[in-house]
Amino acid sequence: MTTDPQAAKFSKKALELKIISSYVLILQTPQHVEGDRIVTLDRHGTYEIRLVECPRHLDTLLFWVELFDHDTNLTLDSYGGRDLNAATLAAEAFIEMAMHLNKS
């Protein structure tokens, strides 16, 4: 993680708690038409870091984190797995990427 104090919007523990609470929120959110439920973890300009429930992979993936660009309507990067620490590291990297891309 960078040493830039602005980039450290979330501490690692705070980001872990945000991911866990977002996962619980996803379980309570109505499904979108395409079947995925989404909660925003952070946003910088048009770049959104989000937790997505992928029902088709629920047996193998607990956490799916994406860096999404609303201008292009595309996922720029993603991480899927069952490990909270790995999901948190991915989210941290995506937050830094979003901040950098938003400055460009």
CATH number of the domain to which 70 belongs: 3.30.67
Which residues form the domain of 53? 16-103
Inter-CA distances, 86 with 12, 42, 81, Å: 11, 17, 8
| The pLDDT of residue 62 | 82
Q: Is residue 78 a part of any domain in this protein?
A: yes
pLDDT < 70: residue spans in the chain: 1-10, 30-35, 55-59
| The pLDDT of residue 54 | 74
Q: Is residue 46 a part of any domain in this protein?
A: yes
Q: Is residue 7 a part of any domain in this protein?
A: no
Q: Is residue 63 a part of any domain in this protein?
A: yes
Inter-CA distances, 29 with 1, 26, 53, 83, 95, Å: 31, 5, 10, 22, 24
Domain count, the chain: 1
Q: Is residue 41 a part of any domain in this protein?
A: yes
pLDDT tens for residues 17-26?
999 999 888 8
